[in-house]
Structures are given as structure tokens and as C-alpha cells.
Amino acid sequence: MDEIDIFLRKHPKDEGTFTPASEATIRKYTGKVPDFLIEMWKADGFCSFNNGFFWLVDPDDLRQETEQAADLQGVTPLVRTGLGGVIFEQGGTHHSFDPAYLDVTTYEEFGLADLLNFSVTADESLNEYYYFNLYEKARKRLGPITYEECYGFVPAIALGGELNANNLQKVELKSYLQILSQLE
């Protein structure tokens, strides 16, 4: 995957068995998402990277929850984090949903490959905007997460919770995003 070689060096693909991408999903999204993503879906399904911190997602699995959490319609979720952050496309522009502060950041100048290679590989942005350092502490304390799970802040930051690894718990991803969408 030359398109995202910087990302893959920083966040190697995890070993294991992952949910395969269906032929219907591959057909539906061919020409709508980057070719490298389709190739990864074909080869590895909806796999994880860097000990489960990043996950490729089936866009149809997280569309409703992402639309609610980001308060936007017509989104295509592509990648999610182990803390419930979602990188998605809407109208040709990429965005990321911050599960701590319930913000949406727009990357008008970046395609998905640029976003993965640069925004999520720099240590400063990785920790400051994606909370990788907190994820690592939670993973050591709580164990690994699955495709359906993430670590969520309990209580949520919007409800007065603190941005602290000790406030992270294993939660069901879709339910967590639904709860966050009601707090905005």
C-alpha cells in the first residue's frame, strides 16, 4: 500500500482474523472510496492497526451512528479509533469526529491517504487530537477491544468527565456513539 506507507510504518496492521468485507460492500463502494481502501478490504477485511487503535470499518455498519454523532447527513465512515473517533467522508471532503469534545474537524485539503499519512502519524496530533497515549494506558489496564468495542470516557467529557485514562471503560461502539450524539 504505497499510498499509505507512512501510516503503515507508524501503525502496523495487527495479526489476527478480521471480519471480511462482503462482495456487495466492495462493489457498492468501488469508485466511491479510495482504491487502496478497497484493496485492503479485499485482502484483510475490516482489520485493525497498532494494537486496535485504528480500525477499517464497513461504512454501512457505522453510518447512522456517525451521522448522529457528527450531526451531518450523507457520511461514509472509513476508519475509527479505539476511543470511538471516526474518520469519514462527506461530499468529497474528509472529517474526523472527536469523541471527547464532540467536535468535527474538516480536512478540506486532505484526501484519506494524506490524512492517514500525516495527521494520524505525528506524535503530537496523535496524542492531542486522537488520544493515543490514553488509549495505550487503557489497553494495558482493560485488555484489547474488538471490532464492536471501543474505550469510552465514563462519565463522558461533556457530562463533566475528565480526559484521563482512568475514566476509560470498555463500551459497545455503536451505543457509545449514540449516547454521545445525545449530549451535543
Between CA 62 and CA 78 the distance in angstroms is 9
Total domains in the chain come to 1
- At 1 the pLDDT is 64
Q: Is the pTM of this model over 0.85?
A: yes
Judge contact between 135 and 151, C-beta under 8 A.
yes
| 43, β-bridge pairs | none
Burial label, 112 (beta-carbon count in 10 A; 0-12, 13-18, 19+): buried
Q: What is the span of the domain harbouring residue 78?
A: 2-181
Question: Which H helix or E strand runs over 59?
Answer: helix 59-70
Give the closest residue to 99 by CA, choosing from 87, 89, 110, 108: 87
Tens digit of each residue's pLDDT, the chain (184 residues): 689 999 999 999 999 999 999 999 999 999 999 999 999 999 999 999 999 999 999 999 999 999 999 999 999 999 999 999 999 999 999 999 999 999 999 999 889 999 999 989 988 889 999 999 999 999 999 999 999 999 999 999 999 999 999 999 999 999 999 999 999 6
Between CA 40 and CA 32 the distance in angstroms is 15
Between CA 88 and CA 96 the distance in angstroms is 6
Judge contact between 137 and 165, C-beta under 8 A.
yes
- At 177 the pLDDT is 96
